[in-house]
Structure 1
Amino acid sequence: MSGNLVVRMAELEIEPGMLEAYRVLLAEEIEASVALEEGVLSLNAISLRDNPSSIRILEVYANREAYEAHLKTPHFLKYKNETAGMVRSLTLIDVDPIMMRAKS
């Protein structure tokens, strides 16, 4: 794996009554980020089966600059602003990839 990659795991707890609205905004942000930002290599969101309000996002960026640029994009800022009241907690965890592969 490239030493330049920035890989993070985001662990979120969403207000249950706002979950559907949150999912719409998250999907919109992920679609825009992957389509518009060359340095966003992948964004994958999942929820825990027994607790759908527990969301996990695996984020992969080409490098630190791509990650920093992502944080300043209009679509990310819209997502952060519009979901602020929906997110009960957010934990960002820097991780080291061991092996990541996907079919295109």
Structure 2
Amino acid sequence: MAELEIDPTQLEDYLVLLTEEIEASVEKEPGVLMLHAVSLKDAPEKIRILEVYANRQSYEAHIQTPHFLKYKTATTGMVRSLNLVDADPIALSAK
């Protein structure tokens, strides 16, 4: 899980880049099982991304892809803080 705080003056641009990166990752990477991004209701500049990968190797491959590196480079000045939380899934389901 990624916990980010984005510069509010750049939030719209950040969301465009994030959406582009998530869509490319899910479409192009078989090891990316799920990427869900939300913002906190009372603080839209605070973004949470739930990331689920097939395995650790899939995550390591993901952070080396051209689309992820483009996102990372383009958003560097937009991200005020980033905290990565390593977690194990308990129950995941979707419709």
**2:83 pairs with 1:91:** yes
Identity %: 69
In structure 1, what is the Cα distance between the partners aligned to 2:64 and 2:15? 21
Deviations 1:45-98 (A, max 9, x none): 000000000000000000011111001100000000000000000000011211
In structure 2, what is the Cα distance between the partners aligned to 1:98 and 1:51? 27
Match of 1:51 among 38, 43, 59: 43
Corresponding position of 1:100 = 92
Corresponding position of 1:11 = 3
Root mean square deviation of aligned Cα: 0.4
Structure 1: runs of 5 or more not aligned: 1-8
State TM-score, norm by structure 1: 0.90
Q: Which 4+ stretches in 1 moved above 4 angstroms?
A: none
State TM-score, norm by structure 2: 0.99
Structure 2: runs of 5 or more not aligned: none
